[in-house]
A and B are shown apart, each in its own frame.
Chain A
Amino acid sequence: MSTRTRVVLSIAASTMMLAALSISVLGQAGAVGRPGGLAGVDGEAKSTAPAGPVPRRSDGHPDLTGTFNGSPGGVTHTVILEEHPGGFGVLGGQSLILDPADGIIPYQPWALTERNRRREDANGYEDQVGHCEFYDIGRIHSFTQEYMFSGNNFIIHATQHITRIVPMDRRDHLPPGIRLWLGDPIGHWEGDTLVVDSTNFNDKPRMSLGGDFHGADAHIVERFQMLDANTIKWTMTIDNPKMFTRPWTMTSPALMKRLKPVPDFDVEDTCHEGNVDLVHLKNTYEKAHGPGWPPKPVR
């Protein structure tokens, strides 16, 4: 079976599940399953060797090179970032929001209304991932990533044709007229922590399948901290006064754990080429809204 065929079958399977049922996730406390956040690290992302001390590059800084995964072993927070009960196909989880302490994203009222609109069943077609487009820079931390250094760049390879090339030797961000899906990242070291500062976003990425978004004017600071040879703690602080009442910080569903690499393996991303079942999501969308695409942007 070819790679392409497998992708087609996978998407077909997901659509069949859509046709079968949709579930309600209640905002109030439900049967919370395995915890997410930094509490839940007991999943399948097992390390491949006893954790030793943090490896170092020749310049003395931690060497993050390797393959890491921040999932606790199931689908959790790509759906909802805040605390949520489990449901069909989704593990329940604690909030990924470390700050504020209540674990709730501090949206301004208009932004919360828009987030909730995006979360409706009938609007699921709007989410870019079903169209095989970019994840946002936080969403990829629920999946496998590969870190490396090349020249003065820190490189992040991730799901869905994402490669982030983070220059460690630049001072200024791009001019504001250049807007990018993944923003313009600039890296630097703060002690042993690799800090990535990003601006110049466009207004398209969604932070979760549940409709969270950070807006084009977000200033995002990520911190990659090696705790031992096989573990990286990642956090992301988002500031956008046009959307949020205060800056807030989130982390990955689990600590990023080192995975055993697979030699000579190249997965070609053919999600779009094999995306034959998107029509079913479109039908759901049009049943609710009538024909019309794309939806009017909300600023």
Chain B
Amino acid sequence: MRHRVTTWLMAAAAVAAVAHSYSPALTAQTPPRGRPDLQGVWRAWNLAKYDLEDHGAKPGVPAGRGFVVDPADGRIPYRPEALAKREKNYAGTKDPDPWKNSDPLVKCYLPGTPRMTYLGWPFQIIQTPEYVYFVYEWGHKKRVIPIGSKTPPPTDETAWMGMARGHYEGNSLVVNLTNFNSYTWFDMAGNYHSDALQVVERYTPINADTLQYEATMTDAKVFTRPWTIRMTIQRQKDIGLLDYECTAMLDELGIHHTWPRDFDVDH
């Protein structure tokens, strides 16, 4: 029998072999001593994914309180000229065609940080002395946080989830994120940032089954001052991580992944 195999398949495999042939080392067992134990499966059960600010009901969206604790008025401190883009972003989310919908999440792009945290899917934290791993059920995405690294992130690389450097402060894990691109949002309300974004995340256990999560955003191109969100995240006990292969679901809906990637030309 004659079998035909296309070269793209081999090439794709070669690409995968090259692109993923390196990853950090782990030489020690867990959990680390003298540091907060954050390990386990966690989930944010709240309305933050809809809108980080106080909001009324919208189609499919319950009304609710926001999560901005600084500034005290609970509003994201947009520069006046930057607010119009948020409104345009939100208006674009009403288009049911994923090719045209403005929310990058609809095309299954990486949600960015901190949006991934409160997207509503669970995630698992794995700690070693050298790294903290965040493994997310959404798309099975993964963040690797070097702890106490002396090497700054490269200056010529950007990342959808930001590039991370972590350390412990008392009972908290603190993650400094830089090198963002400008393509991710904070929520379904169109809140956004530029490539000048810097994020400081702070994970603090407040009892055995609850984490306090804080994230402070600084982006002088879009905001007049830094702003901070705060929420609690609950331990998920009944089941571990399952899977949510977002891109495969687009396929099954008959949506080809062949739209032009406009962000490939503007940077």
Given that A24-B4, A89-B11, A134-B245 are contacting pairs, would A293 and B261 also be in contact in the complex, using a CB cutoff of 8 Å?
no
The answer for the CA separation of A2 and B133 in the assembled complex, in Å, is 22
A60 interface residue, CB < 8 Å from B?
A: no
Q: Mark A2-20, 1 if CB is under 8 A from B, else 0.
A: 1111111011011101101
Contact assessment for A69 and B24 in the assembled complex, using a CB-CB cutoff below 8 Å: no
Other-chain residue from A11, A75, A143 in contact with B21 (beta carbon distance below 8 A) = A143
Given that A22-B4, A80-B5 are contacting pairs, would A267 and B22 also be in contact in the complex, using a CB cutoff of 8 Å?
yes
B83 interface residue, CB < 8 Å from A?
A: no
Contact assessment for B264 and A89 in the assembled complex, using a CB-CB cutoff below 8 Å: no
Contacts of B14 in A (CB 8 A): 14, 75, 89
Other-chain residue from B15, B39, B239, B254 in contact with A14 (beta carbon distance below 8 A) = B15
Q: Return the chain A residue nearest B253 by Cβ.
A: A294
Q: Mark B122-138, 1 if CB is under 8 A from A, else 0.
A: 00101110000101000
Contact assessment for A146 and B141 in the assembled complex, using a CB-CB cutoff below 8 Å: no
B72 interface residue, CB < 8 Å from A?
A: no
Q: Return the chain B residue nearest A144 by Cβ.
A: B21
Contacts of B29 in A (CB 8 A): 57-58, 63, 65, 149
Contact assessment for A17 and B24 in the assembled complex, using a CB-CB cutoff below 8 Å: no
Q: Pull 13 A–B residue pairs with CB atoms less than 8 Å apart, ordered by A.
A: A22-B7, A121-B6, A133-B247, A150-B31, A157-B23, A159-B20, A160-B20, A163-B140, A210-B9, A261-B25, A263-B146, A268-B161, A270-B110
A32 to chain B, nearest CB (A): 15
Contact assessment for A266 and B24 in the assembled complex, using a CB-CB cutoff below 8 Å: yes
Contacts of A8 in B (CB 8 A): 261, 264
Given that A14-B12, A25-B4 are contacting pairs, would A148 and B126 also be in contact in the complex, using a CB cutoff of 8 Å?
yes
Contact assessment for B163 and A17 in the assembled complex, using a CB-CB cutoff below 8 Å: no
Interface residues in chain B, defined as those with a beta carbon under 8 Å from any beta carbon in chain A: 1-31, 39-40, 108-110, 124, 126-128, 133, 135, 139-146, 149, 151, 156-161, 163-164, 181, 239-243, 245, 247-248, 251-252, 254, 256-258, 260-261, 264, 267
Contacts of B21 in A (CB 8 A): 69, 143-144, 259
Of the listed residues B12, B20, B31, B181, the one surrounded by the most CB atoms of chain A closer than 10 A to its CB is: B12
Given that A25-B4, A133-B248, A294-B251 are contacting pairs, would A6 and B19 also be in contact in the complex, using a CB cutoff of 8 Å?
yes
Other-chain residue from A27, A66, A132, A162 in contact with B26 (beta carbon distance below 8 A) = A66
User: For chain A residues 1-49, which have a beta carbon within 8 Å of chain B?
Assistant: 1-8, 10-11, 13-15, 17-18, 20-27
Q: Mark A104-127, 1 if CB is under 8 A from B, else 0.
A: 000000000000100111001001
Given that A142-B17, A273-B109, A278-B258 are contacting pairs, would A127 and B146 also be in contact in the complex, using a CB cutoff of 8 Å?
no
Q: Return the chain A residue nearest B127 by Cβ.
A: A150
Contacts of A155 in B (CB 8 A): 126, 133
The answer for the CA separation of A132 and B161 in the assembled complex, in Å, is 18
Contacts of A20 in B (CB 8 A): 7
The answer for the CA separation of A36 and B22 in the assembled complex, in Å, is 22
Contact assessment for B5 and A23 in the assembled complex, using a CB-CB cutoff below 8 Å: yes
B104 to chain A, nearest CB (A): 9
